[in-house]
Amino acid sequence: MAQPPLTAAIRQMESLLGARLLERGNRVTSLTAAGEVFRDEARRTLEQAQRTVELTRRAAHGLIGSIRIGFVASATRHVLPPLISRFRQTHPSVALDLTEATTRQQLTALDEDRLDAGIVVLPLGSEFGLRIAQRKLLKSRMVAVISTEHSLAKPSGRPISLASLAREPWILFPPTEGPGLYATILNACAIAGFTPRVVQRAMQMDTIIGLAAAKLGVGLVPEPLATAEAGGVSFRRLVGSGTPVPYDVSLVWRKADHNPTVAALVNSCLG
């Protein structure tokens, strides 16, 4: 007589393992010591398999893993906090590796696969444009920052022309670190009829503000920074030829990157 399918399967397993799994009596069937070990390990294997399937699905949707994000220092005031907050709400299990860097440093790091995404100031250099995708996060403009003791600081709140800064010493960031914005500023000054006389270089916008407070020169900084408390300086909106001087910030990533976590970060920009 043929054995029932379950009985046949158990005997086949016992033959494969070389161990008896069941104690068989007339009325009672119980597990042997080997059978108990097999049962416990089989349960753990099934649980791990289910966990593996779930983790794989979550990874495919960018819900776990890690992402390396660069950002310009000025973005910490107005762009980075809301973006990261939205992303953390929907992807709490993704580890964030945040790195402060200039626009140029981020674009190079993206090119060399040392970053997954970056928050940079536009425009991008032509050498990166074809390989980099972007989504705009902020559209703003630059304003002048001058010492409160400067003649242009009075009366308070009055807009000034870009041309009125032609004879002033300037504080600017190195052209190599933000070539797109640097070219935008020089072009605006050229339209206003002058070339800025740069006497100091500063990597960060906050440093430009500090040096202006020290009366070392004038500079241009993003308008969102003009709301920050800064002693010793006055912020002035620019009018006339060469204005407005745009200050636009975008999230950037490699066009060829199909990392679902990057796609999830991009989608967070829509929130």
**What are the domain boundaries of the chain?**
65-138+249-268, 141-247
The pLDDT value recorded for residue 11 is 82
> Which range is least confidently modeled, 78-82, 108-112, 144-148, 256-260?
256-260
Residue-wise pLDDT for 153-193, tens only, equals: 987 779 999 999 999 999 999 998 888 999 999 999 999 99
What CATH architecture applies to the domain 65-138+249-268? 3-Layer(aba) Sandwich (3.40)
For residues 206-217, average pLDDT = 95
Compute the Cα dihedral for 253, 258, 259, 262 and give only its sign.
positive
Grouping H, G, I as helix, E, B as strand and the rest as coil, residue 55 is: helix
Q: What pLDDT shows up at residue 60?
A: 66
User: Nearest-CA neighbor of 242 among 123, 141, 136?
Assistant: 141
Residue 2 has pLDDT above 60, yes or no: no
What is the tens place of the pLDDT at every residue in 48-82?
877 766 656 656 666 668 899 999 999 998 899 99
How does pLDDT run across 150-159, given as a tens digit for each residue? Answer: 999 987 779 9
Amino acid at 151: S
CATH of 141-247, one of 3.40.50.880, 3.30.930.10, 3.40.50.1390, 3.40.190.10: 3.40.190.10
Give me the residues paired with residue 234 across strands.
146
For residues 176 and 119, give the distance between their C-alpha atoms in angstroms, rounded to a whole number: 17
Same fold, 65-138+249-268 and 141-247: yes
Residue 140 pLDDT exceeds 80: yes
Coil, helix or strand at residue 22: strand
Amino acid at 68: R
Task: Give, to the nearest 10 degrees, the angle between helix 80-90 and helix 260-268.
Answer: 120
Strands 132-147 and 233-236: antiparallel
pLDDT > 60? residue 217: yes
- For residue 224, the surrounding DSSP H or E stretch is none
| pLDDT confidence of residue 1 | 37
Residue 114 has pLDDT above 60, yes or no: yes
More confident residue, 248 or 63: 248
Q: Which amino acid type is present at position 110? A: L
Write down the mean pLDDT value for the chain: 88
Residue pair 252/107 in contact (Cβ under 8 Å)? The answer is yes
pTM, whole model, 2 decimals? 0.78
Q: What single string gives the DSSP state of each residue in 66-132? A: EEEEEE-TTHHHHTHHHHHHHHHHH-TTEEEEEEE--HHHHHHHHHTTS-SEEEEESSPPHHHHTTE
